[in-house]
Structure 1
Amino acid sequence: MRRLNVVYIVADDLGYADLGCYGARPSATGLVSPVLDRLASGGLRFTQGYANSPVCSPTRFALMTMRYQYRLRGAAEEPITGTARDSDCLGLPPEHPTLPSLLRDAGWRTALVGKWHLGYPPRFGPTRAGYEEFFGSISGAVDYFTHCDTDGVHDLFRNRQEHVEDGYLTDLLSHRAVDYIRRMAMQDAPFFLSLHYTAPHWPWETREDRHRSARLHGALADLQGGSVRTYQRMITQMDEGIGAVAAELDAHGMLQDTLILFTSDNGGERYSDTWPLVGGKMDLTEGGIRVPWIAHWPRVVPPGSVSGQLCMTMDFSATVLAEAGVPPDAGYAPDGVSLSPILRDPMHCFPRTLYWRTKERGQRAIREGRWKYLRVDGRDYLFDLAVDERERANLVQEQPAKLAEMCSQWEAWNRTMPEIPPDAGVRLPYSLADMPSR
């Protein structure tokens, strides 16, 4: 039997209910995500899976390190914008062990196809963090046709060299991933492929919208553009690429021995559907951090499974390491917990406590069992998510002891983490005042 292959797929700003298997309504042209729906029906769908952060870079730090992102200066908030091009600290340190570096050192071939967003070269970059190959963008957002970032800088790379190639970025990433699998099929070594799409992140462009790209002139936040139909079409075109990846694995007889993970880096943005959750990207309400999680591995995972296990991004990365039989670095103990028992028996659950914090609006949160403690703008909330997923019934008056217990628990955890640096903050290419209220 071949050793485990892994395809770790991350969408960008995808909402909890944006996929059919999570309740998405059909688009004007049919099902939004038929491929991912099939992977879910043939594998395991998590209903209580979370992102490590409500914004992009911090979650990606956690995915790579299997640790709370707050342990690294570069992930204190969301600082990895064009202003960080010359920074020596705002990025993933090359000397830090990562999921791909540990796998590579144990004999896996490794590649990142898609979005990096963990610091700019020459100090930082995918090939300095364990990936043998890289094809994609360095920054947080690029135009789907010009491949330029929010500063108008061309941002498409092949390994460490700038690469010019015409085409819709989602398709280019899908084609490159298929090519990688085809090449790996000819080698006698397992592989770890990170496929990190920029879709459905703004700008709101489908395969058919090249004419819109020409008119944006670098205004990638695209506050005057987009629609639900466009957004759903972006998801569908990503879904088509994932279908090509799965078909290539199947064509080479590798699908049975490949763990495919799918998720989003954080909750959805302006056109996303998060029902029944509220909030979205940048919020520690459920819509900002609870995301789709699908695990497909025919040899191991029972088809048609659903799990209510509490878990977050770094847990899935720890699971990959455990399933590969590769120990973590002794000097960097993971905060993530392996979900291996859940893959084999989705009815099994174990206690798990999850923590978050963000400088934006002074937010903090903890999830334990059915309970969630949240602080926003100095006000405390306590929710029983088993009966109130929309976080509408604040139980701080009815459950003062539970509130005190969870607040104390969060404070104790926070003392184990470095403080958020005073110069850290959420830096976006638009003002939050420009965004419609949720």
Structure 2
Amino acid sequence: MRTIDSQQSAVPLAGQPRRSRARIVILLLLSVGTMINYLDRTILGIVAPALTKEIHIDPAMMGIVFSAFAWTYALAQIPGGMFLDRFGNKITYALSIFFWSLFTLLQSFSVGLKSLLLLRLGLGISEAPCFPVNSRVVGTWFPQHERARATATYTVGEYIGLAAFSPLLFLILEHHGWRTLFFLTGALGIIFTFIWWRFYREPHESTLANKAELEYIGANNGQKTAENVPFNWPDAKRLLCCRQVIGASLGQFAGNTTLVFFLTWFPTYLAQERQLPWLHVGFFATWPFMAAAVGIIFGGWVSDRLLKKTASVNFSRKLPIIAGLLLSSFIITANWVSSNTLVIIIMSVAFFGQGMVGLGWTLISDIAPKNMAGLTGGIFNFCANMASIITPLIIGFIISGTGNFFYALIYIGVTALVGVVAYVFIIGDIKRIVLQ
């Protein structure tokens, strides 16, 4: 139960200076960075129909191209987490943003399948540290009862950017071609690299955070600025055996399966399976992403409200994620619906649920051992993003073999239910791991 002291520490006493809100500036930086991150990794899904015609790629091969990003993205998670724990948030994120943006920009000069695959592999390596950095920064800058909303806020950047910019992106695609899209999004990220370097500070270095805010972050179980520590194998092995890490990783894998479908094959699904004109695809594609954005905010809000009312981390973190996975499995029903409008509603409900699963990153910030947030986030994101490797391939081969998306949607829905099993039976108590 929450003590009286912990309740009082959340509110400044009379006569004390008002807390600054430097952590909101940090959260804004994370949100913009995450939005650019997802624009850069998913722009291929938007240009896929035009690109495949120019390079002559069949669905099975396009599945490999979609998956290529995730090969190196997943493999680089643990090394990226090690680098993060050793060198810290600022330099790790700056290098990550610059190089993923550079690889995105260079895709505009792709001359064939080989060059495109090589650049997608480079993009995957470069983006690997992004979410471990996000989780580590939230654990450093926010007290525990604010972390779910903070995570929801930066995670919503994944979807808001795509929802807000999709009509514009499709318009640019129609009038200026797919190469222009890669060039513009890559250039945007390179510019943001310098903004991050200029404004990001750790709490003890910040000139914006006053003493009251720093005490507030620390008094409410906020993780103090993490010491940069070297990697060691014994701790990594013990971490890999923790049921909390195993369960959370499997659950996030299930949620990411739905996410990857929307980031890769969804525009093709609308254009080919549903026979929608290309500009209509751009319009209808925004609705599920908007729903996912709402799902993220709703999941974070519900989680923090439940934590405040019940003081139960288990209940407040698990319930929204389980509900989100159940809603994601609803995508299966689109197979038996003929109305395009109703299909978009079903897809929006499924993606709304997937947005709630983004709360898994809050859970990781709650359980990560002190000074090992980078490695824990890397392991978690490695397992979760195996979905980015497997899902595009499976869907590509299903389409090549059957000519439709019927079994692809069944695969997505069943995988979401596997995630429910992980959260109910595997993950156990949500508490910070202590490695002896």
Fold shared by both chains (TM-score > 0.5): no
Greater helix share, structure number: 2
More strand by share: 1
Name the larger-Rg structure. Answer: 2
What's the TM-score, normalizing by structure 1? Answer: 0.29
Q: TM-score, normalised by structure 2?
A: 0.29
